[in-house]
Amino acid sequence: MKRQTLKTLLTGSALLLCALCVFFTGCGNIVAETTEEKAETSSHSDEDKLTIGLSQVGSESDWRMASTDSVKAAFSSAEGYNLIFDDAQQKQENQLKAIREFIDQGVDYIILDPIVETGWDSVLTEAREAGIPVIVYDRGIEVDDEDLYVCWIGSDFKLEGERACVWLEEFLASRGVNRNINIADLQGTLGASAQIGRSAALEEAVTLNKNWRIIARDSGDFTTAKGKEVMTEMLNKHGRDINVIYAENDNMAYGAIEALEKKGYTAGMDIENGEILVISFDATHNGLELTLDGKIAANTECNPLYGPRLTEIIDTLEKGGSVEKVTYIDEEQFSGISYIGTIQVRNRPYTVTYLTEDLINDRQY
Ligand code: GZL
């Protein structure tokens, strides 16, 4: 029997059974709610739902997709929100346009993940004049008047970079590596606070380690494709002179590893025997799988799960409470080797978690 005919027969029986239930129990209307409809049905009427305008950077990376999933789940209709979500496709002009549309629509709150730090003063002034509070998350902004936004919650990107570099120092010392460390820096989107912080940490580490040099630096825009393209150009120019790749996010690390393996090089930790050591950020699922395999030597987490953090901020504001102007989130660091368990950064210990498959599978993203 064709699958479709069988399905039709089963559906008809199910409806007949429902009709009989209604007849005998006299219960209300048959509301054949699909799972999705059930999910959309909320105890909140539309009027008392908060309308949130959220401007997202884009969909450039695994991290970004996890971030989007988190905010969409937290601000769902079932949770009592009307979410207007805009994907700016990594263009600031799209974010500016979206924010102005949110203002025109009279949303209750604007939430912004700013692709770059600057260029927000005018549009945030318009939001303030419209009486709409702005919450900034993940990446940071630089504005003349800090009162243009209620608060910022995000990562300390320079600390992430310092943790990555101190781990590298510890690793090289543990292996007795004294040769020149020639680093290819795959930068994120230029002007993004994640790029600014991670790049600054590397520059600082190079001044502190006399045998470290940045011999190649270019932006891979946080994407796999651009990371591969830029890494290919770097390898064409520098070849095996490069012995460390500092990828400022996992997707560029994926691209870089593809590029070096295509040239017959090996991503690994045995620098003394020609392997190229890759440092990465984000600690996404695929990034941690590569870290477990040793293709990424150390991966510093940048946690994307902002949904619950943002609803908590809005809940506090709605109750007339006050929130911290600046909140840094706690983050972890991972490696596939077990013998560097703690590092000292900014005069305090930070744990480096030894990765296992179970640990990776237990994570939320
Ligand atoms: C950092 C975040 C960065 C990630 C990238 O918080 O903004 O943007 O590190 C993402 O993966 O594209």
- Tell me the C-alpha distance between 132 and 110, whole Å: 7
Kindly report, residue by residue over 118-166, the tens digit of the pLDDT.
Answer: 999 999 999 999 999 999 999 999 999 999 999 999 999 999 999 999 9
Q: Which of 64, 158, 196, 301 to mutate to test the pocket of ligand 1 (most atoms within 8 A of CB)?
A: 64
Q: Which of 282, 306, 331 to mutate to test the pocket of ligand 1 (most atoms within 8 A of CB)?
A: 282
- Residue 117's SS3 state is coil
Kindly report, residue by residue over 182-233, the tens digit of the pLDDT.
Answer: 999 999 999 999 999 999 999 999 999 999 999 999 999 999 999 999 999 9
| pLDDT reported for residue 48 | 83
DSSP classification of residue 304: -
At 37, the pLDDT band (50, 70, 90 cuts) reads very low
Query: All domains of the chain, ordered by start, with CATH?
Result: 50-154+305-328 (3.40.50.2300), 157-302+332-362 (3.40.50.2300)
Least confident of 47-56, 151-160, 312-321: 47-56
Burial of 243 (0-12, 13-18, 19+ CB in 10 A): buried
Is the pLDDT at 26 greater than 50? The verdict is no
CA angle 177, 200, 159 (to 5 degrees): 80
Tokens of 299: 């991966």
Kindly report, residue by residue over 9-25, the tens digit of the pLDDT.
Answer: 444 444 455 444 444 44
- Tell me the C-alpha distance between 132 and 103, whole Å: 7
Least confident of 28-32, 238-242, 299-303: 28-32
Looking from the CA of residue 222, the nearest atom of ligand 1 is 12
Q: What is the CA(210)–ligand 1 centre distance, in A?
A: 30
Q: Are strands 277-282 and 326-328 parallel, antiparallel or unpaired?
A: unpaired
Sheet holding 326-328, edge to edge: 81-87, 50-56, 109-112, 134-138, 151-154, 326-328
- Residue 237's SS3 state is helix
- Atom 1, ligand 1: which residue's CA is nearest? 194
CA angle 196, 199, 201 (to 5 degrees): 105
Tokens of 235: 């390898």
Is the pLDDT at 42 greater than 60? The verdict is no
Percent with pLDDT over 70 in the chain: 87
- Tell me the C-alpha distance between 279 and 361, whole Å: 21
Which helix (H) or strand (E) segment is 84 a member of? strand 81-87
Looking from the CA of residue 63, the nearest atom of ligand 1 is 11
Q: Which of 60, 63, 226 to mutate to test the pocket of ligand 1 (most atoms within 8 A of CB)?
A: 63
Evaluate: CB of 193 within 6 angstroms of ligand 1.
no
- Tell me the C-alpha distance between 154 and 245, whole Å: 25
| pLDDT reported for residue 117 | 98
Is the pLDDT at 97 greater than 80? The verdict is yes
Evaluate: CB of 302 within 6 angstroms of ligand 1.
yes
Looking from the CA of residue 194, the nearest atom of ligand 1 is 1
